[in-house]
Every structure is written in C-alpha cells, then in structure tokens.
Amino acid sequence: MKKLANTGNKLLPWALFIVLTSFWQLVSETDEFIGRLLPSPVDIITTFFRELPVIIPHGVVTLNEALTGFGASIVLALLLAVMMDAFEPLYKALYPLILVSQTVPLIALAPLFLLWFGFGQLPKILIVMLMCFFPVLVSLLDGFKSVDSDLLNLMRSMGAGRVAIFRIVKFPGAMMSFFSGVRIAATYSIMGAVISEWVGGSRGLGVYMIKVKNSFAYDKMFAAILLVVALSMAMFKLTDVVQNMAMPWYRLQQRNTGE
C-alpha cells in the first residue's frame, strides 16, 4: 500500500501537467490571436529542435556563467559562514548588512556592474554570485545554530577544541541545511545569468531572448525559456547527486522511507 501511495504521489504532478498542457494546446489552436502571442506546446517543441543549433552556443555561455558564479558563491558563503559562526561580533556586525543587501534589486545593479567591469563575463558572474550567495549563507548559518547543544557540551567535556567540534559535530550537523540552500541557489544561478545578459552582452540565452522578442518571434522566445528550465532542473539534480555523495546516510534514510 505504501509503494502504491508513493507511485500515486509521483503520478499526480504528471497528470496535472498533461491536463494543463492539453488545455494550453487547445486554446492556442482555437484562437489565432492567442496562438500568435502564446504559441502552443507543439509549436514550441518544434521550434526548440529546429533552433537547437542556434540556441545551444548561447546556452553554453549562460551555463558557464551560472556554474562559475554558483561555485564562487558557495566558496564565499562557506568561508564567511564559518567566520561568522566562530566570531559572534562579526556575526552581529555583518548579518544585518547582508540582509539589507538583499533588498537591492539585482536588475538595478547589473548596469552598474557593466560600467565598472565591462561587457565581458565578469559582471554576469558577479550577478550570479550575489543571487546565489544569500540562500547558501543563511541556510548554513541556521544549520550551525541548530546543532544539538548536548552534543556540543559532550565534546567540550571530553576536551575537544573548537576545530574538532566544528569538524566532528557542527559541520556534519549543518550539512542538511547547507544543501537546502545550495539547492535553492542552483535554480537561481541560471536565472541570474539570464537576467544579467538582458542588460548587455553579445552571447547567452538572455541576449538571444531579447533579440527574438524584438522580432516578435514568440515561439523562439518560449524555446529559449524551455532550455532555461531544462538547465535549471539539471542544476537542481546535480545538487542531489553531490548531496548523496557527501551524505550517504541521507540516501539510506531516503531508501528506508520509500520502502
């Protein structure tokens, strides 16, 4: 019965997706005006494969920007989270400033980055870093704060130093929260790269989307969106693979839950 329930839970999203897609296809085919503004799923998929040789080079540029910014944001968030957890005054000084920084719209910073750093990949990577940095940092800090205090007291009573406590208790205990933030940041990375390309550049999916939008080629616009969704899902799944490798006990727990 449990396996049957799990199968039903997996089929429900697909059933809803098929219903919505079928309704979309029907509306686009029956109304010519709507069909021009909102191409049908069949037209989008056809255009996607037809335009694939053109879209792929742009997608490679966007993926490179996203991966570089995503990786740099994780390294920066790890280093800063460790320092903020180790030094309480640093935490109290930086955390409010980091929160305030997230209220600034990145679309407003992108033109400034282009002026300061040029029209290459650097400003795009910086935008991705800013977009991915916050969820990783906050999740990791929350993970450090939520570690079982009894375990920490036990380690201190056994004479363990701060480095040993961090290595044996704190960091492993915060990994679940850490990967939750990484998973969110992974989906943000592609979106951040595309947004940064809207402001300026010569290559990338954002640049391609602006060009086809200006030529009213909405089917090509949706084809680019389809690739953005595919890349975002691939980044999301990549974090799952890395999490399973870093946390084998979590994978065993998931298997036992699914049985």
What domains sit in the chain, N to C, each tagged with a CATH number?
A: 42-254 (1.10.3720.10)
3-state secondary structure of 197: helix
**pLDDT tens-digit series, residues 4-35:** 555 556 677 778 888 888 888 888 878 776 77
Query: In the numeric block, which tokens belong to residue 3?
Result: 């396996």
Residue 196 vs residues 37, 112, 141, 252: alpha-carbon distances, Å: 25, 11, 28, 40
- Euclidean distance between CA atoms 7 and 29, whole angstroms: 33
Q: 102: how many CB neighbours lie within 10 A of its CB?
A: 14
**pLDDT tens-digit series, residues 158-192:** 777 777 877 878 888 888 888 888 998 998 899 88
> Which letter, b or e, does each residue of 114-125 get, where b requires 16 or more Cβ atoms within 10 Å of its Cβ?
beeeeeebebbb
Confidence of residue 151 (pLDDT cuts 50, 70, 90): confident
- CA-based torsion, 131, 135, 138, 140: positive or negative: negative
Residue 150 vs residues 75, 85, 157, 164, 249: alpha-carbon distances, Å: 29, 18, 10, 16, 21
- Euclidean distance between CA atoms 239 and 64, whole angstroms: 16
Indicate yes or no: pTM above 0.85.
no
Least confident among 40-49, 129-138, 152-161: 152-161
Residue 118 has pLDDT above 80, yes or no: no
Query: In the numeric block, which tokens belong to residue 241?
Result: 């693979």
- Euclidean distance between CA atoms 199 and 106, whole angstroms: 11
Q: What local confidence, expressed as pLDDT, does residue 259 receive?
A: 45
Q: What local confidence, expressed as pLDDT, does residue 254 receive?
A: 58
Query: In the numeric block, which tokens belong to residue 160?
Result: 């363990």
